Structure 1
């Protein structure tokens, strides 16, 4: 086989050879035994395991030669690499490839050579197992000797592969130990308690912070012992959450009270995430416990302060309303104006009551903080004799917060008040349909009056209520307001940005 026909290039072959990490290593009994056996079976005084490096041939094992390497230009084996199944030279003096070789010339020089390739699993020729003799052997090797040399060459490769596998395993173990050491160093330096479990949830690792916080002996909370560290009232809840995560693979997150080394229970946030292999199977769970006791106390203090301030604001609404009522008694001519102002203040008070922070005692029984719930509460005074609201709310609901409550309350209080005085709610048969619609980045509210007095056209004068409605929608909510005075009644459309009703949530999403 010529060099041009080789199935590999020299750079790749050398890279494959060096991947075994065998070059320049100390003699090993397994390889020495092979060359001794090859020499005896083949009746040859010289036998070697020969590896062809860059510019040299190096002998992992040899008998009868006395050296560990020789220059490549005197190598028989370098020529053997070019042969598919190795090479046999009965008389080197008669072979033009070797007749000028200094190892062949003269009395006592090499005459006979027989070698078998050492080939990697990828087909790279690494060297040979060969026998040499100083006498000519026209008959070459016997069939038994040939078979033995083939078998022993395969054994050399088996030893090389075994040796590489052991080396790679040791390197892997060392890398794993180094990686585990780095992980432990990082985990022990974290302020959080860090833990890990097997796929079935068996806890088998805690960092130093866990033992520092709990004060328990190392290993005492392995397995299921960790649950005993929780407050008795939290144990079943924590177990249920953990079992759910193990069954579904969902992230684990829960707040519970964890017993500190001094016996005090402190609020803790527990979190865990699964680690998966390429097949998606969970191989481990890694979790943390974070002491949030101080944060919980701070939040509780803020909530209490917020409730107190909100309660005082509620009282201010009541005081202002009472002052207006007293003033109206002293000035009967302003009674109509006072009633209008009081109604508007009461609408603001209802909006504030709906969205203000509450304690468990003061929490109003009007449902969740949504637009529809708030409007239903606002329109309660406009029910018929059977208790059914005459303002029907339909369409898409929306999350609702205190930043929009005041403007929405003023808008629909004015509409309902005017409808009760002059529009659809001023007659027994009249009603109002309020349709709400989510239109992507817009939220549209349409107020349609039906069954009231017939309208003859657009009013010639805009009252204070209309101006207040426009200020609420366009000034406070950043929307557009349109009125159409149809024969059947007023149709008003408020076109708002979709974020206007819950600006805090929109800000959180943006952040």
Structure 2
């Protein structure tokens, strides 16, 4: 079967049945993918779709509340006809889509880009797509297309995981049934499985391996019984695997670990090891049954995807620097624009610091504090306002978990407050200081901004851009409220935000 292209309904149904789509639907892993796809391509909507006989179902959605659409009006119906991304800069100019109800009516789609999700069987199940309500005359940049294809590969990997997990559950059920009927039948079943299968006594003594184990390791039959299995593990993984196995034996918890196992050719390959206890009617463990699955290629591919994700994020960070440079260059010959350009560059720099804090990092480049820490993010944002001997902005209170979704509005919000304080408020005075107190309740986060020691405060006579930016960030993007107290001794703000706006659950 050629990858992609049309397939008959029976083939599609058979392939879909192998995947546990409900277990994956609206999972945090897929939500992170669609959130990043929308951010990468500059669109309000991103979807992971699956096409069934008459319906298009959404497995993940960013920017919409629908669970799917009729297949007859699906844009992805056209995407799965090929193997390459489908990019439509203006839907109204394309005869395939100009009369589509989603184009002529709400939500009035104008731009679409989708990458087909092609399974190992060569069947395109659906797509990873991004959508906008305004045309994108230039479509997507090469970097955006590369990123979208990389994210689609990640979706396929998640789908593959659900298929393998379903196969594992079926195999476990079959194995237990076979044990109840005959141990010899179990051995026959185990020897025909693609995984390495092993079992132990209740105390963890290994007394059985199937033929696949000996075929993979090249070890003589019986030579890895008891505790001798450690000898074929990579030396760096032996202590970790032994400790986890000992914990499972002590607690009865399922055993699962990735480690490197020596192949018969001498190469160490990554393997996923799993084991479950079998219990009698009294709840006592009678045996442990486990499998080893060769995941070397998937492990290497996952590492490569991580490198690509880090590179994409690094390039996005560089875009902030380029934009700031362009603004400075444009204002160089126009003195009247320099103050506005400086403010804009500062805002872009704050966004860059927030992005750099939450972006994917290597082990060497990661921040010293937790990347999901609100206090850590605020520390990065307020670092330019630190003073010798203390002062500046002091952050106190509770720790709150944040992610990439909330980092941008938080950066704009607190950069604006700190900038105003430095120009007109407490930070404009050598004796002035700012305290930001963070309080977390069950449903809300209360951020109290208090300025003291600065010049006397008077309420403004008009609403400027900075005030509008605070409202945009706190109210429209984070869904919170802002209360101002123009106390002559110093400005006080109370910003109340729903707790679930800071990080996805």
Establish whether TM, by shorter chain, passes 0.5.
Answer: yes
SS in 1 for 2:446: strand
Q: Is the 8 A contact 1:197 1:203 kept in 2?
A: yes
State the Cα distance separating 1:179 from its structure 2 match.
Answer: 4.3
Distance 1:229 1:419, change over 3 A: same
**Residue equivalent to 2:410:** 408
Gaps of 5+ in 2: 1-177
| Segment drifting more, 342-351 vs 478-487 | 478-487
State the Cα distance separating 1:212 from its structure 2 match.
Answer: 3.5
Q: 1:399 and 2:405 equivalent?
A: no
Distance 1:419 1:190, change over 3 A: farther
State the Cα distance separating 1:237 from its structure 2 match.
Answer: 2.6
Instruction: Please give the per-residue CA displacement for 1:89-133, whole angstroms capped at 9, x wherever unaligned.
Output: xxxxxxxxxxxxxxxxxxxxxxxxxxxxxxxxxxxxxxxxxxxxx
State the Cα distance separating 1:325 from its structure 2 match.
Answer: 2.1
Distance 1:485 1:273, change over 3 A: farther
Q: 1:288 and 2:291 equivalent?
A: yes
- Which of the numbers 155, 172, 197 marks the counterpart of 1:194? 197
RMSD: 2.5
Q: Is the 8 A contact 2:354 2:380 kept in 1?
A: no
In structure 2, what is the Cα distance between the partners aligned to 1:469 and 1:190? 60
In structure 1, what is the Cα distance between the partners aligned to 2:216 and 2:287? 24
- Compute the TM-score of the two structures, normalised by the length of structure 2: 0.60
Q: Is the 8 A contact 1:410 1:472 kept in 2?
A: yes
Q: Is the 8 A contact 2:310 2:360 kept in 1?
A: yes
SS in 2 for 1:274: strand
**Residue equivalent to 2:445:** 443
State the Cα distance separating 1:333 from its structure 2 match.
Answer: 1.8
**Residue equivalent to 2:375:** 372
State the Cα distance separating 1:313 from its structure 2 match.
Answer: 1.7
SS in 1 for 2:411: helix
Q: 1:463 and 2:464 equivalent?
A: yes
In structure 2, what is the Cα distance between the partners aligned to 1:444 and 1:277? 53
**Residue equivalent to 2:384:** 381
**Residue equivalent to 1:348:** 351
- Which of the numbers 300, 303, 311 marks the counterpart of 2:314? 311
In structure 1, what is the Cα distance between the partners aligned to 2:487 and 2:187? 76
State the Cα distance separating 1:278 from its structure 2 match.
Answer: 5.8
- Which of the numbers 451, 454, 474 marks the counterpart of 1:452? 454
- Which of the numbers 417, 420, 423 marks the counterpart of 1:421? 423
**Residue equivalent to 2:28:** none
**Residue equivalent to 1:103:** none
Distance 1:419 1:198, change over 3 A: same
**Residue equivalent to 1:125:** none
Larger radius of gyration: 1
In structure 2, what is the Cα distance between the partners aligned to 1:342 and 1:352? 15
In structure 1, what is the Cα distance between the partners aligned to 2:285 and 2:502? 42
Highest relative contact order (Cα 8 Å, sep 6+), 1 or 2?
2
Distance 1:434 1:181, change over 3 A: farther
In structure 1, what is the Cα distance between the partners aligned to 2:424 and 2:399? 29
In structure 2, what is the Cα distance between the partners aligned to 1:190 and 1:411? 57
State the Cα distance separating 1:276 from its structure 2 match.
Answer: 4.4
Residue-pair matches, total: 328
Instruction: Please give the per-residue CA displacement for 1:377-420, whole angstroms capped at 9, x wherever unaligned.
Output: 1111222221x353222222122221211111000000111111
In structure 2, what is the Cα distance between the partners aligned to 1:189 and 1:477? 55
